[in-house]
Chains A and B, each alone.
Chain A
Amino acid sequence: MLKKLLSMSLCTILAVSALSGCGTDTPGSSQAESGEKPAANVSDVETSSTSDGKFDDVRLKMLVCWNGGFPTASDQYNNDVAEKIREETGVTVEYEGIMMSETEKLNLMFASGDMPDIINAPYWGGTKGETAVIKKAGAEGRLIDIKDMLANYENLKAAYEIGTIGSKYYENDINYPDFNGATYILPQEVGAGVENETNWAYGVFVRGDVPEALGIDEKQIKTTEQLYDFLVKARDYGFKDVNGNDCIVATTYHEGWDNSGYYQNFKPHTLTGDNGYFLNEDKKVDYLPLTENFVDKHLFLWKLVNENILDKESFKHSDAQADEKVGNGTALFASAQYGTVIKSTQLTGLYNSNPEMRYTWVGPLSFEGGEAATQLRSEGRNGSPAIVFPTTCSNIDAALTYLNYVNSEEGAKLCQYGIEGVTYELNDQNQPRMNAEWTAKFAEDNEKTKEELREFGVGYMLGRVLCADKRMSWWGEKDAFQAEAENEFVKEYKEVKPVEQIDGYSIDGIVPNFERYTEVSEIAWEGTTEKDYTERAYFAETEEEARKILEDYQEYLRTGNGGALPELLDWMTEQLGTRDDFVF
């Protein structure tokens, strides 16, 4: 009997535990479980703020939808910065990162309805990836329309100004036609004017001892031919890395990012870039991937792969693998952002053990027409990170109040520098600068110092909440320590390759108005086909075979979906007369 009783109780426990995971989450249930304040209904918003505009300790969650995680203070509620923001607004936002594909995460959230209060995600414009998902979410009722609320939040309104964002971005992506006049997107990390535009310092970088050993002035390398000659000489010299192993000649970071630096000299000096549009000899709009330029630039990469110059693993390797290759001086050349390359060397302490291996820039290589290399920018950003508010946002007013505060000069200063007298001081121009103690720490170990500052709430929030970025105008530096402790080489490189603005209306801004736009998108901009073709070409055994693969892709573009792309080009030619400020 006892046996029976025991077995029946065991079965009951098993059955109950199997069923326990099947309940549906009610809004705010996860917060309730974690002992937090339960989420309020959207309808409660109006009553949740006090008469002075402050909220009564509202806690919100922001999902930072960027693959790779988001390091924060270990206690996001009790730290100097969070407490000060709470003092001003009554709101605390807790951030959470992701370690998976951004598109996949967004899809899962919007499809399941299990969404946080605020989301920050990539919104590069156009029809693919994250942008497509966010547009679908907006059009299908998953996001809150903030159009009418924006009037109360001056600092946020600045993110919509033309000049901070481009007209093309505003018309096609922020005011996406299927949104039917609603505003779901708050552009983030948009620089107000050229001086506030982030210079990403892209380029090709070479290990310092290589040009010296070869007797080449790396700063004079401006063309593809010169770069190729340099790469071949480096390959044949027999350099070794810090461990005495053979070297890889040229590499990139994750999945080939950014091997386009090697063919910089094939890129036209235009806003639409090397995969964009141009006016051909017949004065008709043409598309660069359909031309010989496209074939030639990819054949150049084929040559680099085929001649054991470009790292064959680079098309699939991870950032961690690239860090190892660069950090140990195994890769003689690397194409990426300068900061990324330097970070790899800091991970291994390469410059301490082998100061002669300090990576320096090559060229920079010129544009196709011989123009000096710059980072091109239109009248404003034409794609950016974006903040959106899902319909599950428990308190939209609190969310906007918080964002409005951290976008003020005072709030931004607090997030970037911390508390005056504790972490920073004002210089004689009234600009905030980290104090001597922290600056010395930073010069010694960047990463460790950032980690320590994070515990005070300093240095991590602003990157995902600052919308119209005016930091250069406000303080003369974009990031803390930049003026005093930014790597001098990066600083110099940014001067060598500055940001350049091209005024006018980018011609690709009219493309979404084309009747067969979706059909063109399906073949030309769906995201994987071009990559598949070109990377296959890089590994072809002969140049003829590689050329054939690239030409097959061009044929696919010309004929796919009943010739929708050539039809688009004809239509664009017809549109040329409709406005006089088109630029390519």
Chain B
Amino acid sequence: MVRNPSAAISKKKEYDYVNKSLRKRIWEHKVLYLFILPLIVWLLIFCYQPMYGATLAFKDFKYNLGIMGSPWVGFKHFEKFINSPEFWIVIKNTLIISLMKLAISFPAPILLALLLNEVRAAKFKRVIQTMSYLPNFVSWVVVVQILTVIFSPYGGVYNNLRNMMGLESQFVMGTKESFYPIVILSDIWKNAGWNSIIYLSALTSISVELYEAAEIDGAGRLKSTWYITLPGIKETIGIMFLFAVGNILNAGYDQILLLKQPANVQISEILDTYILNTGLNYGRFEYATAIGLFKSLFSISLMFIANLVCKKTMEVSLW
């Protein structure tokens, strides 16, 4: 006897659908497929087609012969990069800045989302949210220019205040010690608000009943956050963390380039600025490509490892 006839019909439909050929299934949803067609075309043209350019890393590029016609030179450019005196300095600087961003900047939007989630005054919440998103739309050139003006030793607000307190002016943007704090704090200011959107949307999926039940059980706000909210957005955090690990060697090219000063050059030369200085500025496209490829392979390896670790510890993975 069939207890639920509608469930049986639905199962049959599912069976029929799975057994249809792929072509038939695509044709059935042709309009939806047509909608994603431009994106597939975009992906193929702008992401996959240029990949053949990566072969440049193994060639000596000649203007007249182009990428495909230039002669192969094996791992020459990789060897040159790895044996260059700057190799370890550049890798070290990139990793330090990236790890600091991972440790400090990555949790910042989560914290902001949790705080916003606790705000009950809707208007106030909206104002704060909008204000926190705005810096994302300001380019790094403007951000660094604003910082330069604020911290200028010649009439900057910061130093005027110091002088009023009887302290000497400081060239904040030009000292080695202030480089990391400026990098991290400006990164948080610019990106935390925007990045919190994804966590805020994840928070809306948590059932309100869970909080009500917790409240009846005597849980306070902190305990609700710890036992309900955080586990509720664990998967989103995990996925975002994996993306962040994949991006670990992208320490923020434009930000770092603009914040580079003579005094901090030893700690501010990262892979991307090195590529620009030694590769692109001097037309050594093949050398720049080799470093870029090295960076990509390293990042993919890191992402594989992080995916494995996340899968085992947090039951979250990309694949």
Which residues on A are within 8 Å of B, measured CB to CB? Answer: 4, 7-8, 11-12, 14-15, 17-19, 22, 101, 103-104, 106-107, 110-111, 113, 128-129, 132-133, 136-137, 140-142, 245-246, 248, 311-313, 315-316, 325, 330, 526-528, 532, 535-536, 538-539
B261 near A: Cβ within 8 Å?
A: yes
Query: In the complex, A245→B282 CA distance in Å?
Result: 42
Residues of A within 8 A of B294 (CB): none
A-B contact pairs, 8 of them (CB 8 A): A8-B31, A11-B38, A18-B38, A18-B41, A141-B64, A313-B173, A316-B260, A528-B278
B283 at the interface (CB under 8 A from A): yes
Contact of A107 among B173, B174, B285 (CB under 8 A): B285
Whether A7 pairs with B263 at a CB distance below 8 angstroms is no
Would you call A11 and B41 a contact (CB within 8 A)?
A: no
A107 proximity list for chain B (CB < 8 A): 280, 283, 285
Chain A residue nearest to B65 (CB atoms) is A140
* In contact, A142 and B277 (Cβ under 8 angstroms): no
- Say yes or no: A15-B37 contact (C-beta < 8 A), given A133-B283, A313-B174, A539-B174: yes
Q: For A246, what are the chain B residues with a Cβ–Cβ distance below 8 Å?
A: 154-155
Mask, B57-93, CB within 8 Å of A = 1, is: 0000111110000000000000000000000000000
**A103→B283 contact, CB < 8 A:** yes
With a cutoff of 8 Å between Cβ atoms, the chain B residues found around residue A4 in the complex are: 31
Interface check B8, CB cutoff 8 A: no
- B281-A103 in contact (CB<8A): yes
Contact of B35 with A by CB under 8 A: yes
Q: In the complex, A132→B285 CA distance in Å?
A: 13
- Which residues of chain B are near A11, meaning CB under 8 Å? 31, 34-35, 37-38
Closest to A534 in B: B262
The residue in chain A whose Cβ has the minimal distance to the Cβ of B266 is A536
Kindly list chain A residues whose C-beta atoms are within 8 Å of the C-beta of B62: 140
Q: Are A536 and B34 in contact (CB under 8 A)?
A: no
Could you say which of B35, B174, B261, B266 contacts A7, with CB atoms under 8 Å apart?
Answer: B35
- When the two chains form their complex, are residues A313 and B283 in contact, meaning their CB atoms are under 8 A apart? no
A312 to chain B, nearest CB (A): 5
Q: Which residues from chain B contact A101 at a C-beta distance below 8 Å?
A: 281
Q: B174, A312: Cβ atoms under 8 Å?
A: yes
Known contacts A110-B63, A538-B262; A132 and B34 CB within 8 A of each other: no
Closest-CB distance, B67 to chain A (whole angstroms): 9
B54 within 8 A of A: no
6 further contact pairs, Cβ within 8 A, besides A11-B35, A110-B63? A129-B282, A132-B283, A312-B171, A325-B154, A526-B282, A528-B277
A462 to B34, CA, bound (A): 56
Cβ-based interface call for B51 (8 A): no
Q: Which residues of B contact A104 (CB under 8 A)?
A: 280-281
A312, B153: Cβ atoms closer than 8 Å: yes
Q: Which of B173, B260, B282 has the most CB of A within 10 A?
A: B282
Nearest 10 interchain pairs by C-beta: A535-B262, A539-B263, A141-B64, A11-B34, A14-B38, A107-B283, A140-B63, A312-B171, A110-B63, A18-B38
Question: Is A128 in contact with B282, judged by CB distance below 8 angstroms?
Answer: yes
Q: How far is the CB of B266 from chain A (nearest CB, A)?
A: 7
CB of B185 within 8 A of chain A?
Answer: no
Total A-B Cβ pairs within 8 A: 100
**Closest beta carbon of chain B to A34's beta carbon, Å:** 26
- B229 close to A (CB within 8 Å): no
The digit string for B137-167, where 1 denotes a CB below 8 A from any CB of A, is: 0000000000010001111000000000000
A46 to B175, CA, bound (A): 63
In the assembled complex, which residues on chain A have CB atoms less than 8 Å from the CB atom of B61?
111
Q: Chain B residues near A538 (CB, 8 Å)?
A: 262
Check A536 against B38 for contact (C-beta < 8 Å): no
Check A536 against B263 for contact (C-beta < 8 Å): yes
Q: How far is the CB of A106 from chain B (nearest CB, A)?
A: 8
Q: Which residue of B lies closest to A331 (CB)?
A: B154
Q: Bound complex: CA of A12 vs CA of B37, how far in Å?
A: 9
- Smallest Cβ-Cβ distance to A8: which chain B residue: B34
B285 touches A111 (CB 8 A): yes
The distance from the CB of B272 to the nearest CB of chain A, in whole angstroms, is: 15
User: Per-position contact with A for B250-262: 1 when CB-CB < 8 Å, else 0?
Assistant: 0000000000111
CA distance A14 to B171 in the complex (A): 52
Chain B contacts for A128, CB-based, 8 A: 282
Evaluate contact between B63 and A137: CB separation under 8 angstroms.
yes
What residues of chain B lie closer than 8 Å to A312, measured between beta carbons?
Answer: 153, 171, 174
Chain B residues in 8 Å Cβ range of A7: 31, 34-35
For residue B264, give the distance in angstroms from its CB to the closest CB of chain A: 9
Give every chain A residue within 8 A of B45 (Cβ-Cβ).
18-19, 22
Q: Point out the residues of chain A lying under 8 angstroms from B305, CB to CB.
A: none
Interface residue B213 (Cβ < 8 Å from any Cβ of A): no
Give bound CA distance, A138 to B154, whole Å.
48
B31 surroundings in chain A (CB, below 8 A)? 4, 7-8, 11
Cβ of B265 under 8 Å from chain A: yes
Q: B107-132: which have CB < 8 Å to A? A: none
CA distance A137 to B283 in the complex (A): 11
Q: A19-B41, A111-B61, A313-B174 known; A103 and B282 CB under 8 Å?
A: yes
Contact of B64 among A19, A132, A142 (CB under 8 A): A142
Alpha-carbon gap, A132 to B152, bound state (A): 37
Residues of B within 8 A of A113 (CB): 63
Shortest distance between the CB of A78 and any CB in chain B (Å): 36
Q: Is the CB of A132 within 8 A of B282?
A: yes
> Would A313 and B154 count as touching, CB distance under 8 A?
yes
Report A-chain residues with C-beta under 8 Å of the C-beta of B34.
Answer: 7-8, 11-12
Q: Are A140 and B64 in contact (CB under 8 A)?
A: yes
Q: For residue A580, give the distance in angstroms from its CB to the closest CB of chain B.
A: 37
CB neighbours (8 Å) of A532 from chain B are 262, 265
- Looking at B42, B45, B263, which has the most chain A CB atoms within 10 Å of its CB? B263
> Which B residues between 24 and 42 are near A, CB-CB below 8 angstroms?
31, 34-35, 37-38, 41-42
Closest CB of chain A to B290's CB: distance in Å?
16
Asked if B38 contacts A15 (CB within 8 A), the reply is yes
Q: Which residues of A contact B283 (CB under 8 A)?
A: 103, 106-107, 110-111, 132-133, 136
**Cross-interface CB contact of A313 among B63, B65, B153, B282, cutoff 8 Å:** B153
Question: What is the minimal beta-carbon distance from A435 to any residue of chain B, in angstroms?
Answer: 44
Give every chain A residue within 8 A of B41 (Cβ-Cβ): 15, 18-19
Query: Contacts A11-B37, A536-B262, A539-B174 given: A111-B281 contact, CB under 8 Å?
Result: no
- In the assembled complex, the CB of A419 is this many whole angstroms from the nearest CB of chain B, namely 43
Min Cβ gap A391→B in Å is 9
CB contacts (< 8 Å) of A110 on chain B: these are 63, 283
Q: State A325–B155 Cα separation when bound (angstroms).
A: 11
Q: How far is the CA of A113 from the CA of B34 in the complex (A)?
A: 36
Q: How far in angstroms is the closest Cβ of chain A from B71?
A: 12
Assess the A313–B148 pair: CB atoms within 8 A. yes
Q: B55 to chain A: closest CB distance in Å?
A: 15
CA distance A68 to B45 in the complex (A): 33
Name the residue in A106, A248, A539 with the highest tally of chain B Cβ atoms < 10 Å from its Cβ.
A539
Closest to B67 in A: A111
- Residue of A at shortest CB range from B148? A313
Residue pair A527, B282 in contact (C-beta under 8 Å): yes
Nearest B residue to A128 by beta-carbon distance? B282
Query: Residues of A contacting B63 with CB < 8 Å?
Result: 110-111, 113, 136-137, 140-142
Measured CA separation A18–B38 after assembly (Å): 7
Q: How far is the CB of B305 from chain A (nearest CB, A)?
A: 34
Nearest-neighbour CB distance to chain A for B154, whole angstroms, equals 5
In the complex, A367 Cα to B278 Cα: how many Å? 35
Q: With A and B bound together, what is the CA distance between A245 and B159 in angstroms?
A: 13
Q: A539's contact among B42, B262, B277, B278, by CB below 8 Å, is which?
A: B262
Q: Which residues of A contact B155 (CB under 8 A)?
A: 245-246
Q: Which residues of B contact A313 (CB under 8 A)?
A: 148, 152-154, 171, 173-174
Q: Which residues of B contact A315 (CB under 8 A)?
A: 261-262
- Taking the closest CB of chain B, its distance from the CB of A344, in whole angstroms, is 16
